[in-house]
Every structure is written in structure tokens, then in C-alpha cells.
Amino acid sequence: MLVGRTRSLPFAPVESGEVLLPGYRVVRLLAHGKRLDTYDAWDEDRDCRVVVKVLRADRRHERDVVASVLQEGRLVTTLAHPHLVRGFEVVEQPLPAVVLETLTGATLGALVEEQPIGAADVTQLGLQLVSVLGYLHRRDWLHLDLKPGNVVVQDGRAVLIDLSLAGRPGTGRSGAGTPGYLAPEQAVGRGLSPATDVFGLGVTLSECLSGELPYGEEATWESRRRLPLVHRPHPREPVALPTDVPPELAGALRACVALDPAERPSLARLRSVLGDLAGA
């Protein structure tokens, strides 16, 4: 029988220098999330810094949450791509955890907060993200949470992180994703496909160019109502990109954020457009 969610306990982070898990000592807490606590840690076996995402103690009895953590761990430790974060280990006891490589760059989100990114750099970022998304899709996985905060830029290389919402094409949890970045079909949890990640990619690259989300931060597509897409009020048109963005790039990104998945370009088509721009 599935045990219900326990009441949140007062949060007491593991202090610097203390053992987080056998073989891992805390350097500092990076984030205290709804499901996971993320630590900068020292790996005593590998003799290097790592990132450890460990399940919160007050959620250890939620089977779906435990399964999600272990699934992310299996993905990052078995998949290998130059633009995908590397996983070193999956821990099941005493708490489920995932051990990841330490990335020294800044998130794309932090860079965009400082100032918009030029079209040439966005084109290169797009090609790299198309590459890693294609790798995932060919293995029948969708990322489902593509956003600037989940892309680390390190020495010109974009690295996709956080596969905690990754899932198979088809159906999924209604409303799973990040407001402003999730595709309309994610709101109802049906019809998930590679086009769903194309939408997230289009939103991400558009934000890089303009500093704005195409449909605004409030774009949740009324996921709480659980209504079919055809009964939802039609949202406003996406925000126009700056006039100095090459028309080919602007047109491709506008197509990526089409509300109808069938109208979005394939990754292969998007790669072709971006490749032509990069060559030019």
C-alpha cells in the first residue's frame, strides 16, 4: 500500500565536513528543494568534488518520488553524451541519491539575467541542445523540463542537467514541468512527444535572445483544470523577438513554440536551419 506524504520536518542541513553518505563529505548545501537536497560534496574514493542530490528524509516513504530519483540516477549513469551531465553513482541506502560531476560554468539562466545573448551564440547553443535532445529521443526518452536553469554553459559548451522529470513519450503527470516553459500537452499529460521538448527548446532560445518568455511566466495552460486542450481559452500570441534577430532564426523559434505539436519543426529540421545560420 502506498504511504501518503508525511508532514514536512524542520530542515537541518548536513554541515560542512560532515558525512552526507558513506564516502561523501559535505562541502556546502547548494539547494533545498521540494523533493531533493543538493550538496557540493567531496568524493573520498574519486578524490574530487561532486554534486550529490539526495532525497529529503521526509519524502522517503513516497514510492513515486523514490522511483523518480532512482530513474534519474540510472539515466545519467548509463547515458553518455558531450552535452549531458555525467552521473557517477546511484545510491539507494540510507537515502536514495544521485552523484553527479561538478560543472564549473554558469547556468544559462544566470547568463540571461545579466543580458540577452547574441544570435550567433544562441545558434551554437541551439545546435548543441538539438544534439543532446536527439540523443535522448533516439533512446525513447524526453527531458520535459528544458529551461535556462537546466543548462550549464562551461567554456562554450552547453551541458543539459536535471533529468528528474524525464519520461517516455505518450502520457505523463498532468502539469509536470515549469510554468512558462512547459508545452500545452504537458498541462494535460497526454500526447507527449519529441515535439514537447522542441517547445521547451524554442522557449529557452527565445528567452536567451530577448530576455522574455514567449508566452510569459504565467503560461501554465491552466493545468490545474485538467480540461482537454480544445476547451481552453486560446492564449495570446508569443512575444516578438528583437528585430536584429535573423529572420530564419526568428521564424524557426516561432515555429518551435507553436501551440499545436504538429506545427513544430522536427529536431532534424531545426538542426538544418541552425547549421545553415552557423555556416553563414
Output the CA torsion sign for 125, 126, 129, 135. negative
Residue type, 96: P
Q: What is d(CA 164, CA 193) in angstroms, rounded to the nearest whole number?
A: 17
- CA 76 – CA 84 distance, rounded (Å): 8
Question: How remote is the C-alpha of 195 from its chain's centroid?
Answer: 15
Q: Catalytic amino acids?
A: 145
